[in-house]
Amino acid sequence: MTTSEYRSNDRAHVWHPFTPMREYCREETPVIAAAEGFELIDTDGRRYLDGTSSLWCNVHGHRVPEIDTAIREQLDRVSHSTLLGLANVPSVELARELIRIAPPGLTRVFFSDNGSTAVEAALKIAYQFHQQRPDRPGTRDLFVRLSQAYHGDTIGSVSVGGIGLFHATYDRLLFRTVEVPAPVAFRTPAGFTAESYVAHCFAEVERVVREQHDRIAAFIIEPLVQGAAGILVHPPGYLRHVREVTAALDIPLIADEVATGFGRTGTLLACEQENVVPDLLCLSKGITGGYLPLAATLTTDRIYEAFLGEREDARTFFHGHTYTGNPLACAAALASLKLFERNRVLDNIHRNAELLRTRLAEWSDWPHVGDVRQKGIMVGVELVQDKATKAAYPPAARIGHRVTLASRKRGVITRPLGDVIVLMPAPAMPADFVHRLCDVVGEAIREVVDGRD
């Protein structure tokens, strides 16, 4: 098919996620046909820098020889075999490697296939754990979440979400949660300074958890950064504070590292930066280097042992997915983890984080850049209509989307979160590509908000 034919069939048949389809069908969207290194190639042969790591999951680039080889070799053995009552070699090897890199005390791995299912499993494990633990503490049916939280799109993960645009439609389908305010002070409620609001957010964790601890099943958090909320970076010590409060009251902590894991915050796992060991850890996105769907929910022996018993005891975790522990995906993940060490990817992340910090400092005085938020190589640049008042643009202005289109015509793929422009270079991306990403997105922002090309 020609590019025009691909587009026509795409518009006729494909329903794209998180995409306003009427608007999408009016645009000449690239149709990706190939990739090489850190670039995507469309059906017309045009190259685009992959500026969002293919939705925050690509790690080492595309067509990585070592990962390609690992998948091909696994194809010659077995492509899929169920984990329901059986084991397979790559899943066993990967579980062992994940335990090696995880915070100490996380010793059990439950596989699934994406970030939402990793979170869904964690929520159900926490809920069932309290019903089966030896001391049976009573009804534990509340989950604590942060404001503006995002943990996925299945019903359980939506229940612990807090982004109205995404989640409000499904309100009557969701289970009850308790919210604590996200410790982010770009916009503060009346009566607070930035400093007093952050202090209030710390205090609210302790107040809410203490008041309802006898009903709380778990506290769920994205460590250090709330990704889909607009790259909201938490202040130092907040994650540690949450862990101390929950641990003191014997409340499981779920760390959702679907977006923050595998180097994006500067360490392999974000929890490392505050020496936090959660009770449940959710991983996905970068776990396979961005090649294949895979997720893992890690937990402790204490939680796992509450599910042990004879068949007639019905203590089993009755939850699973057809492609749980898929051998091809596990083989890709094992190859990716080896590349982290062989290619010293974390060192590259540290260099690029400093490069981004230097380049982004140039943007902070621009008249419509309200805030620049960065943790490691996760960057969010919030564009505002009025810098002094922090007034947002009206949604109809489509500022973030227009920056995406302006970047695309310059050969860079980006995807905003509303009017927050996201820069998410792959952890292994060379510095010259990161410079190119900053150059192009900076030019696109100026074109759209200042009318300067």
Cα–Cα dist 387/366, whole Å: 9
Instruction: Kindly state the average pLDDT of the residues 349-374.
Output: 96
Lowest mean per-residue pLDDT among 113-122, 266-275, 392-401, 444-453: 444-453
Average pLDDT over residues 328-335: 98
Coarse DSSP helix, strand, coil percentages of the chain, rounded to the nearest 5 percent:
40, 15, 40
Average pLDDT, the chain: 96
User: Which among 211, 273, 208 is positioned nearest to 238, based on CA atoms?
Assistant: 273
> If 0-12 CB within 10 Å is exposed, 13-18 middle and 19+ buried, where does residue 414 land?
buried
Interval 208-251: pLDDT, tens: 999 999 999 999 999 999 999 999 999 999 999 999 999 999 99
Average pLDDT over residues 168-177: 93
Instruction: State residue 19's pLDDT score.
Output: 94
CB-based contact 277:299 (threshold 8 Å): no
Instruction: Please give the biggest Cα pair distance in the chain.
Output: 71
pLDDT in tens, 295-316: 999 999 999 999 999 989 899 9
Band of residue 450 on the pLDDT scale cut at 50, 70, 90: confident
pLDDT above 90 as % of the chain: 96
- On the CB side of 26, CA atoms within 13 Å amount to 4
* Residue 110 in this model has a pLDDT that exceeds 90: yes
The torsion angle over the Cα atoms of residues 186, 187, 188 and 194, rounded to 10 degrees, is 20
| Residue 175 reports pLDDT greater than 90 | yes
- For 399-421, write each residue's pLDDT tens digit: 999 999 999 999 999 999 999 99
| Nearest CA-CA partner of 431 in 325, 333, 345, 352 | 352
Q: Which two tokens stand for residue 392?
A: 């947002």
| Alpha carbons 316 and 323: distance in angstroms, whole number | 19
Q: Of 414, 285, 433, whose CA–CA distance to 352 is shortest? A: 433
Residue type, 446: R
Q: Report the alpha-carbon distance of residue 52 to residue 74 in Å, rounded.
A: 28
Which structural domains are found in the chain, ordered by start? 31-60+344-450 (3.90.1150.10), 68-342 (3.40.640.10)
Q: Counting Cβ atoms within 10 Å, is residue 99 exposed (0-12), middle (13-18) or buried (19+)? A: middle
Nearest CA to 343 among 34, 101, 61?
Answer: 61
The separation between CA 387 and the C-alpha centre of its own chain, rounded to angstroms, equals 28
Task: Transcribe 55-104 into DSSP letters.
Answer: HHT--S-BS-HHHHHHHHHHHTT-S----SS---HHHHHHHHHHHHHSPT
What's the confidence (pLDDT) of residue 453? Answer: 53
Q: Please give the pLDDT value at position 452.
A: 62
What does DSSP assign to residue 264?
Answer: T
* pLDDT attached to residue 366: 95
Answer whether 0.85 is exceeded by the pTM: yes
Q: How far apart are CA 179 and CA 201, in angstroms?
A: 11
DSSP 204: H
Cα 253 to Cα 122: distance, rounded to the nearest angstrom: 10
